[in-house]
Amino acid sequence: MLAVDETAPTPAALGYRMPAEWEPHAATWLSWPRRKGISFPGSFDRVLPTFRALVAALVESEPVCINVCNGAHEAQARAVLKDVDLARVRFYRIATNEPWCRDHGPIFLTRDAAPKLAVVDWDYNAWGNKYPPFDRDEVVPTRVAEMMKLPVFYPRMILEGGAIDVNGAGALLTTESCLLNKNRNFDLTRDAVEERLRDFLGVRQVLWLARGTEGDDTDGHIDNLARFVSASKVIAMIEDDRADANYEPLQENLARLRDIKLVCRDGADSAAPSQLLDIITIPMPHKMLREGMRLPASYANFYIANTVVICPTFADPADEIALSILRDCFPGRRVLGIDCRELIWGLGTFHCLTQQQPAV
């Protein structure tokens, strides 16, 4: 771990904040999967069409930056993307272990003064040391910052990007089961975790949900459970079947959301002080099993790009319900559903694969 000057000003003190995902992007970052990786056992070739569909949708919205290990890896990616407009794709020689850029990639911060863009490099241990090796993934944010000549900050706390969701007006959603898990930050109290989130992401309010769903190996990433779709509106996943293992955890999270009162950022006019959340529920897809294991399929794992919202679908009757709700939430964007029945074998979908670079 790099040495950190504890006397140095924090990003929040310097005026930086993490923008909401729906704010303008300069680009979307991805990490191309490796055949020798562990994310898609026995189905690597079957997930490549989904990666191609993702990039094809993104390039219509914004430039796409793709991390590749070397020239051969880039050639493999180009072969898959041969009929995509590669004029809007840029490849970076940044080696990774796995393709989940949301979790290992840079979290970008913005401010009004120069330098307007910065990177936070949280520590990374592959979801609680579950999937070694992760040495390449751990250093990706700093590698990106070096290539872009951006300042980089080191909070000295383990955090994956999928564990948090922000509304851009001072509030952050997360879960106790993930960020307070001893397999991440065994030496940090809840107050210490909140302090780092405020100092390094520029938020004021940390909103805690309880736990995740069955089959989710992230210990409860928020991007499978509940997401901001505006400064005061949240979509929340629910399970209608009382006998399902996900029913009680999702009901507990819903109850917590209903009790939350937002306190907006000073000077912000997008959410009134002490405002209750506007909550829209979306049903979970039917239980999906593969090789005896439950898969963490969820419509909350959508990604918001400049002109499109890309939502995972699962050939399920609830697909159209989810897409219709997201169309109402994002009337100025095209909402696109892409089949993720193969991709979910890697235990994640589109939000897990993407990381936004804000426009400045």
Residue-wise pLDDT for 99-126, tens only, equals 999 999 999 999 999 999 999 999 999 9
User: 48: buried, middle or exposed (CB in 10 Å: 19+, 13-18, 0-12)?
Assistant: buried
H helix count then E strand count, the chain = 12, 20
226 pLDDT band (50/70/90 cuts)? very high
Say whether pLDDT at 24 is over 60.
Answer: yes
Structure confidence at residue 274 (pLDDT):
76
Strand order in the sheet with 152-153: 107-110, 117-120, 152-153
Question: pTM for the complete prediction?
Answer: 0.96
65 catalytic? Reply is no
- 257's CB contacts (< 8 A; 6+ apart) are 209, 226, 234, 236, 277, 279
Active-site position among 69, 101, 264, 352: 352
Mention the CATH class of domain 25-358: alpha beta
